[in-house]
A and B are shown apart, each in its own frame.
Chain A
Amino acid sequence: AQKVTQAQTEISVVEKEDVTLDCVYETRDTTYYLFWYKQPPSGELVFLIRRNSFDEQNEISGRYSWNFQKSTSSFNFTITASQVVDSAVYFCALRNNAGNMLTFGGGTRLMVKP
């Protein structure tokens, strides 16, 4: 069985602070895919990143960076110099190689205050 845990249900920061959203996953598969999605107040799920299990390189995209560590089964997401527009619910998700369904974590609500 697969499981994704986002232990932080809600985080509040002040603009320009750095913030890290944690994601821990469980799977028995050796090949799998990890995702982060952003859900702004408008409600849609916006794709941010996909990472394959065999690629542990960290990724940076502007103010966003992701730290994938297979040894700790974690795929954490850091926002540098946060902005009010980053306020949203962020979901981490896992997909194994055999199936196609995504298993989601419970989401982390990030509030960035001016």
Chain B
Amino acid sequence: EAGVTQFPSHSVIEKGQTVTLRCDPISGHDNLYWYRRVMGKEIKFLLHFVKESKQDESGMPNNRFLAERTGGTYSTLKVQPAELEDSGVYFCASSQGGVGQETQYFGPGTRLLVL
């Protein structure tokens, strides 16, 4: 069974540009999460989808970040316009959900560098 995949693995952009990150969850997982780790800080929650619906977006830093999960399959996270402080590693995770299915499985991350 394929794990969580993320694309691209690395992205280098200039301040003010737009970047779109993609996450494909494990097949059959209704829950999809985005996290990020900026330099020197902890891994922080951004938002949580249940199928195509945003369940919790309390961690989204500002309105420059837009996440979508059309059709309840893969998800995209767009940063527009990117700022220097957006640099970091963006992780996606998925889980089946439900009692006993709380484990979140993570992808390899996308390393974003904003210059």
- Chain A residues in the interface with B (C-beta under 8 A): 33, 35, 37, 42-47, 50, 91, 95, 99-107
The CA of A45 and the CA of B3, in the complex, are separated in Å by: 11
Find out whether the CB atom of A47 lies under 8 angstroms from the CB atom of B33: no
Q: Answer yes or no: B11 CB below 8 A from chain A CBs.
A: no
Q: Given A45-B91, A100-B48, A106-B42, A95–B102 Cβ distance below 8 Å?
A: yes
Measured between C-beta atoms, what is the minimum distance from A3 to chain B in Å?
10
Q: Given A44-B108, A100-B31, A35–B103 Cβ distance below 8 Å?
A: yes
Looking at chain B's contact residues, the main secondary structure is strand
A-B CB contacts (within 8 Å), total count: 56
Query: Contact partner of A42 among B35, B95, B103, B108, CB < 8 A?
Result: B108
Q: Answer yes or no: B55 CB below 8 A from chain A CBs.
A: yes
Find out whether the CB atom of A102 lies under 8 angstroms from the CB atom of B105: no
Q: Given A99-B56, A100-B48, A102-B45, A43–B109 Cβ distance below 8 Å?
A: yes
